[in-house]
Chains A and B, each alone.
Chain A
Amino acid sequence: QVQLVQSGAEVKKPGSSVKVSCKASGGTFSSYAISWVRQAPGQGLEWMGGIIPIFGTANYAQKFQGRVTITADESTSTAYMELSSLRSEDTAVYYCARVRYSSSFQLTLECDYWGQGTLVTVSS
Protein backbone atom coordinates (compact mmCIF):
# COMPACT_ATOMS: atom_id res chain seq x y z
CA GLN A 1 0.00 0.00 0.00
CA VAL A 2 1.45 3.32 -1.08
CA GLN A 3 1.88 5.89 1.68
CA LEU A 4 3.35 9.37 1.73
CA VAL A 5 4.17 10.58 5.22
CA GLN A 6 5.06 14.22 5.69
CA SER A 7 6.95 15.96 8.47
CA GLY A 8 5.13 17.80 11.22
CA ALA A 9 3.71 21.27 11.52
CA GLU A 10 6.06 24.25 11.57
CA VAL A 11 5.89 27.79 12.89
CA LYS A 12 8.30 30.18 11.22
CA LYS A 13 9.24 33.83 11.39
CA PRO A 14 8.88 36.06 8.34
CA GLY A 15 12.05 36.01 6.25
CA SER A 16 13.09 32.54 7.38
CA SER A 17 12.95 29.23 5.49
CA VAL A 18 11.08 25.98 5.97
CA LYS A 19 11.89 22.50 4.71
CA VAL A 20 9.14 19.90 4.56
CA SER A 21 9.85 16.23 3.97
CA CYS A 22 7.73 13.56 2.31
CA LYS A 23 8.70 9.90 2.80
CA ALA A 24 7.22 7.37 0.40
CA SER A 25 6.64 3.72 1.11
CA GLY A 26 4.88 0.82 -0.54
CA GLY A 27 5.79 1.66 -4.11
CA THR A 28 8.74 2.15 -6.44
CA PHE A 29 9.96 5.65 -5.67
CA SER A 30 11.95 6.00 -8.87
CA SER A 31 8.99 5.13 -11.10
CA TYR A 32 7.06 8.26 -10.25
CA ALA A 33 7.45 11.97 -9.76
CA ILE A 34 6.63 13.97 -6.64
CA SER A 35 4.79 17.26 -6.77
CA TRP A 36 4.06 19.80 -4.07
CA VAL A 37 0.73 21.56 -3.79
CA ARG A 38 -0.26 24.09 -1.15
CA GLN A 39 -3.55 25.33 0.20
CA ALA A 40 -3.88 28.57 2.15
CA PRO A 41 -6.61 28.69 4.81
CA GLY A 42 -10.02 28.67 3.15
CA GLN A 43 -8.45 28.87 -0.30
CA GLY A 44 -7.95 26.58 -3.28
CA LEU A 45 -5.12 24.33 -4.37
CA GLU A 46 -1.93 25.80 -5.79
CA TRP A 47 0.69 23.81 -7.70
CA MET A 48 4.21 24.70 -6.58
CA GLY A 49 6.40 22.35 -8.57
CA GLY A 50 7.61 18.81 -8.91
CA ILE A 51 10.54 16.51 -9.46
CA ILE A 52 11.21 13.22 -11.23
CA PRO A 53 13.68 11.56 -8.81
CA ILE A 54 15.51 9.48 -11.39
CA PHE A 55 16.44 12.67 -13.25
CA GLY A 56 16.75 14.92 -10.23
CA THR A 57 15.69 18.04 -12.11
CA ALA A 58 12.80 20.00 -10.63
CA ASN A 59 10.17 22.09 -12.37
CA TYR A 60 8.76 25.08 -10.48
CA ALA A 61 5.71 27.28 -10.83
CA GLN A 62 6.76 30.73 -12.02
CA LYS A 63 5.28 32.27 -8.89
CA PHE A 64 7.77 30.42 -6.70
CA GLN A 65 10.85 30.54 -8.93
CA GLY A 66 13.86 31.56 -6.87
CA ARG A 67 12.15 30.87 -3.56
CA VAL A 68 11.41 27.15 -3.69
CA THR A 69 13.72 24.18 -3.99
CA ILE A 70 12.42 20.65 -4.47
CA THR A 71 14.78 17.72 -4.09
CA ALA A 72 14.55 13.96 -3.79
CA ASP A 73 16.72 11.31 -2.17
CA GLU A 74 16.20 7.97 -3.87
CA SER A 75 18.18 6.13 -1.18
CA THR A 76 15.56 7.03 1.44
CA SER A 77 12.54 7.44 -0.89
CA THR A 78 12.10 10.94 0.50
CA ALA A 79 11.29 14.19 -1.25
CA TYR A 80 11.81 17.64 0.18
CA MET A 81 10.37 21.07 -0.42
CA GLU A 82 12.21 24.10 0.91
CA LEU A 83 10.59 27.53 0.73
CA SER A 84 12.64 30.60 1.62
CA SER A 85 11.97 34.27 2.38
CA LEU A 86 8.75 33.30 4.08
CA ARG A 87 5.95 35.82 4.44
CA SER A 88 2.57 35.66 6.11
CA GLU A 89 0.92 34.78 2.80
CA ASP A 90 2.87 31.52 2.79
CA THR A 91 0.82 30.26 5.74
CA ALA A 92 -0.80 27.16 4.29
CA VAL A 93 -1.05 23.40 4.34
CA TYR A 94 1.62 21.95 2.08
CA TYR A 95 0.92 18.60 0.42
CA CYS A 96 3.23 16.26 -1.43
CA ALA A 97 1.71 13.94 -4.01
CA ARG A 98 2.91 11.00 -6.08
CA VAL A 99 2.61 11.86 -9.74
CA ARG A 100 2.72 9.82 -12.91
CA TYR A 101 4.99 11.34 -15.49
CA SER A 102 4.36 11.16 -19.23
CA SER A 103 6.03 8.86 -21.74
CA SER A 104 8.22 11.85 -22.65
CA PHE A 105 9.27 12.18 -19.02
CA GLN A 106 7.26 15.32 -18.35
CA LEU A 107 5.42 16.06 -15.15
CA THR A 108 1.67 15.67 -15.21
CA LEU A 109 -1.08 16.48 -12.73
CA GLU A 110 -2.07 12.85 -12.22
CA CYS A 111 -1.57 12.83 -8.45
CA ASP A 112 -2.74 9.43 -7.30
CA TYR A 113 -1.47 9.39 -3.71
CA TRP A 114 -1.16 12.33 -1.34
CA GLY A 115 0.59 13.00 1.92
CA GLN A 116 -1.39 14.03 4.97
CA GLY A 117 -0.36 17.67 4.62
CA THR A 118 1.95 19.84 6.69
CA LEU A 119 0.72 23.11 8.19
CA VAL A 120 3.28 25.87 7.92
CA THR A 121 2.41 28.99 9.87
CA VAL A 122 4.40 32.17 9.23
CA SER A 123 4.02 34.64 12.03
CA SER A 124 6.14 37.15 13.88
Chain B
Amino acid sequence: QSVLTQPPSASGTPGQRVTISCSGSSSNIGSNYVYWYQQLPGTAPKLLIYRNNQRPSGVPDRFSGSKSGTSASLAISGLRSEDEADYYCAAWDDSLSGGLFGGGTKLTVL
Protein backbone atom coordinates (compact mmCIF):
# COMPACT_ATOMS: atom_id res chain seq x y z
CA GLN B 1 0.00 0.00 0.00
CA SER B 2 1.41 3.36 -1.08
CA VAL B 3 2.09 6.16 1.39
CA LEU B 4 0.54 8.49 -1.18
CA THR B 5 -3.07 7.43 -1.57
CA GLN B 6 -4.94 7.75 -4.84
CA PRO B 7 -8.31 6.35 -5.87
CA PRO B 8 -7.71 3.27 -8.03
CA SER B 9 -10.10 4.43 -10.71
CA ALA B 10 -11.88 7.48 -12.08
CA SER B 11 -14.10 8.04 -15.08
CA GLY B 12 -15.84 10.72 -17.07
CA THR B 13 -17.48 11.42 -20.39
CA PRO B 14 -15.93 13.49 -23.18
CA GLY B 15 -15.97 17.19 -22.37
CA GLN B 16 -16.39 16.61 -18.66
CA ARG B 17 -14.06 17.75 -15.88
CA VAL B 18 -12.55 15.10 -13.63
CA THR B 19 -10.29 15.37 -10.62
CA ILE B 20 -7.90 12.82 -9.16
CA SER B 21 -6.85 13.15 -5.55
CA CYS B 22 -3.58 12.27 -3.84
CA SER B 23 -3.43 12.14 -0.06
CA GLY B 24 -0.19 12.11 1.88
CA SER B 25 1.29 13.41 5.10
CA SER B 26 3.33 16.23 6.57
CA SER B 27 6.59 14.52 5.64
CA ASN B 28 5.81 14.30 1.94
CA ILE B 29 3.06 16.38 0.33
CA GLY B 30 2.89 18.66 3.34
CA SER B 31 6.47 19.83 2.97
CA ASN B 32 7.50 19.11 -0.61
CA TYR B 33 6.43 19.65 -4.20
CA VAL B 34 3.93 17.35 -5.85
CA TYR B 35 4.37 15.98 -9.35
CA TRP B 36 1.89 14.26 -11.64
CA TYR B 37 2.61 11.72 -14.36
CA GLN B 38 0.50 10.28 -17.15
CA GLN B 39 1.23 6.79 -18.39
CA LEU B 40 -0.39 5.51 -21.55
CA PRO B 41 -0.52 1.72 -21.98
CA GLY B 42 2.84 0.22 -22.85
CA THR B 43 4.73 3.51 -22.65
CA ALA B 44 7.01 5.31 -20.22
CA PRO B 45 5.45 7.84 -17.85
CA LYS B 46 5.20 11.45 -18.98
CA LEU B 47 5.60 14.47 -16.71
CA LEU B 48 2.29 16.30 -16.59
CA ILE B 49 2.62 18.69 -13.65
CA TYR B 50 5.68 19.73 -11.68
CA ARG B 51 6.12 21.81 -8.52
CA ASN B 52 2.45 21.40 -7.59
CA ASN B 53 0.89 23.34 -10.45
CA GLN B 54 3.37 23.98 -13.25
CA ARG B 55 2.89 22.51 -16.70
CA PRO B 56 5.86 21.50 -18.87
CA SER B 57 5.96 22.88 -22.37
CA GLY B 58 3.58 20.96 -24.59
CA VAL B 59 1.14 19.87 -21.89
CA PRO B 60 -2.32 21.27 -22.65
CA ASP B 61 -3.79 23.76 -20.19
CA ARG B 62 -6.69 21.32 -19.74
CA PHE B 63 -4.44 19.73 -17.13
CA SER B 64 -3.97 21.56 -13.84
CA GLY B 65 -2.58 20.71 -10.43
CA SER B 66 -3.21 22.04 -6.96
CA LYS B 67 -2.06 21.34 -3.44
CA SER B 68 -3.53 22.09 -0.04
CA GLY B 69 -1.93 20.90 3.18
CA THR B 70 -1.18 17.20 2.86
CA SER B 71 -3.32 16.60 -0.22
CA ALA B 72 -3.04 17.36 -3.89
CA SER B 73 -5.30 17.10 -6.91
CA LEU B 74 -5.01 16.79 -10.64
CA ALA B 75 -7.85 18.24 -12.67
CA ILE B 76 -8.53 17.45 -16.30
CA SER B 77 -11.07 19.61 -18.05
CA GLY B 78 -12.61 19.06 -21.48
CA LEU B 79 -11.97 15.34 -21.15
CA ARG B 80 -10.88 13.61 -24.36
CA SER B 81 -10.61 9.94 -25.29
CA GLU B 82 -6.83 10.23 -25.51
CA ASP B 83 -6.72 11.15 -21.81
CA GLU B 84 -7.53 7.54 -20.97
CA ALA B 85 -4.42 6.48 -19.08
CA ASP B 86 -2.96 5.80 -15.64
CA TYR B 87 -2.13 8.86 -13.55
CA TYR B 88 0.40 8.93 -10.72
CA CYS B 89 1.19 11.55 -8.12
CA ALA B 90 4.69 11.73 -6.66
CA ALA B 91 6.46 13.58 -3.88
CA TRP B 92 9.67 13.47 -1.91
CA ASP B 93 9.38 12.17 1.64
CA ASP B 94 11.65 13.77 4.23
CA SER B 95 11.21 10.97 6.78
CA LEU B 96 12.16 8.30 4.27
CA SER B 97 14.72 10.53 2.52
CA GLY B 98 13.39 9.15 -0.71
CA GLY B 99 10.85 9.54 -3.45
CA LEU B 100 7.32 8.23 -3.39
CA PHE B 101 4.72 7.50 -6.03
CA GLY B 102 1.04 7.11 -5.40
CA GLY B 103 -0.58 3.81 -6.30
CA GLY B 104 -1.96 5.24 -9.52
CA THR B 105 -5.44 6.05 -10.83
CA LYS B 106 -6.79 4.46 -13.97
CA LEU B 107 -8.86 7.03 -15.85
CA THR B 108 -11.56 5.73 -18.16
CA VAL B 109 -13.26 7.98 -20.70
CA LEU B 110 -16.74 6.59 -21.16
A residues contacting B by CB (< 8 A) are: 35, 37, 44-47, 49-50, 59-62, 95, 97, 106-112, 114-117
State the CA gap A37–B103 with chains docked (Å). 13
CB of B47 closer than 8 Å to a CB of A: yes
Number of B residues near A (Cβ < 8 Å) is 26
B residues contacting A by CB (< 8 A) are: 2, 33, 35, 37, 39, 44-47, 50-51, 56, 86, 88, 90-92, 96-104
Identify 20 residue pairs between A and B in the complex whose beta-carbon atoms are under 8 Å apart, listed by A's number: A37-B101, A44-B101, A45-B90, A45-B101, A46-B101, A47-B98, A61-B96, A61-B98, A62-B96, A62-B97, A95-B44, A95-B45, A108-B92, A109-B92, A109-B99, A110-B33, A111-B37, A111-B47, A112-B56, A114-B46
Contact of A116 with B44 in the complex, beta carbons under 8 Å: yes
Contact of A45 with B37 in the complex, beta carbons under 8 Å: yes
Least CB distance, B25 to chain A, in whole angstroms: 16
* Given A109-B92, A110-B35, 19 other A-B residues pairs in contact with their CB atoms under 8 A: A37-B45, A37-B101, A44-B2, A44-B101, A44-B104, A47-B99, A47-B100, A47-B101, A50-B99, A59-B97, A62-B96, A62-B97, A109-B33, A109-B90, A109-B99, A110-B50, A111-B37, A112-B47, A112-B56
Contact of B92 with A45 in the complex, beta carbons under 8 Å: no
The interface residues of chain B, by DSSP majority, are classed as: strand
State the CA gap A107–B88 with chains docked (Å). 18
Contact of B98 with A45 in the complex, beta carbons under 8 Å: no
Residues of A contacting B102 in the complex (Cβ-Cβ under 8 angstroms): 44
The 4 closest A-B CB pairs, nearest first, are A47-B99, A114-B44, A44-B104, A45-B101
Residues of B contacting A110 in the complex (Cβ-Cβ under 8 angstroms): 33, 35, 47, 50-51
Residues of A contacting B98 in the complex (Cβ-Cβ under 8 angstroms): 47, 49, 59-62
State the CA gap A61–B96 with chains docked (Å). 8
